[in-house]
A and B are shown apart, each in its own frame.
Chain A
Amino acid sequence: EAQVTQNPRYLITVTGKKLTVTCSQNMNHEYMSWYRQDPGLGLRQIYYSMNVEVTDKGDVPEGYKVSRKEKRNFPLILESPSPNQTSLYFCASSPSPLGKGGAVGLGAQYFGPGTRLLVL
C-alpha cells in the first residue's frame, strides 16, 4: 500500500531533550516536506527536500533540522525542544517535481497521519 508513515504518533517530552520524528514513504517520491499545524494558523512548512542531500528552509525552520540521506526517509530533528514547538506535525511527499518541459512543481502531496508533540 502506498503510504507515508510517521513515528511516533504521539510524544510527550521535556524542554531541551533532543528528539527525532521519523518519516518514510514507499512511493519513490523525490519531494518530501515537513509541516506543523496549529489552531488558526493552518499548515506551515518547516523544511522541504527536493531530492537526496538537497534540503531547504520553509517558512518556520527555526529550532528544527532535517536530513535526507535516503530517498525514502526524511527525519525531523528537534535538537533542544521548547514549549512553543508543541504542535501537530505532518510529513508529506510528492512525485518528481520535474514535470513536462522541465517545469518544477509540487503537484499532489501525500500526507502522513501526523505526530502530536507536547513539550513541557
Chain B
Amino acid sequence: GENVEQHPSTLSVQEGDSAVIKCTYSDSASNYFPWYKQELGKGPQLIIDIRSNVGEKKDQRIAVTLNKTAKHFSLHITETQPEDSAVYFCAASMEGYSSASKIIFGSGTRLSIRP
C-alpha cells in the first residue's frame, strides 16, 4: 500500500532562518499532497497543498515543491517566526474517478524556532 516517509522528525532553527521538511511517497498514482500544521492541544490545520499538475506553490512565507519523478515533495518556510513552532504533517492521496478516498500521513516533524 501507499507509504509516506517524512524527515526530519525534529527540527530546530534560529528565528529568521528557513526550515525545510521533506516527504517521499511510494504510490505513483498519488496526485494530491496537503501539508498540515498542528499546534499544541489542537487538531491539524491545512496550511498549503499541491496537486501533481503543479511543481511548486507558494503562499507568503510558505512554499511546497513537488518532484513527481523522484516521488518526493517538500515544505519550505522562510523567515521563520516563533508562531511557526508546531508539528507539521505531510500527506498523500489519490484523487480520481474511483472511491479512493484514503489519505496517508507522514509521521510528523516537530519544528522548534529558537529566539
* Residues of chain A at the chain B interface (Cβ within 8 Å): 4, 31, 33, 35, 40-45, 48, 50, 56, 58-59, 90, 92, 97, 99, 102-109, 111-114
Contacts and interface: CB of A to CB of B under 8 A. Distances in A.
Nearest to A35: B105
B102 A48 contact: yes
B36 to A, nearest CB: 8
Contact of A111 (B45, B93, B97): B45
A43 B44 contact: yes
Contacts, number: 75
A40 B101 contact: no
Contacts of B95: 99, 103-106
A43 B99 contact: no
A72 to B, nearest CB: 17
B105 A42 contact: yes
B103 interface: yes
Given A104-B97, A104-B101, A106-B93, A42 B107 contact: yes
Contacts of B44: 43, 90, 111
B97 A58 contact: no
Contact of B34 (A4, A99, A108, A112): A108
Contacts of A40: 9, 107
Contacts of A103: 95-97
A57 B97 CA distance: 19
Given A40-B107, A42-B89, A42-B107, A106 B101 contact: yes
Contacts of A113: 41-43
Nearest to B34: A108
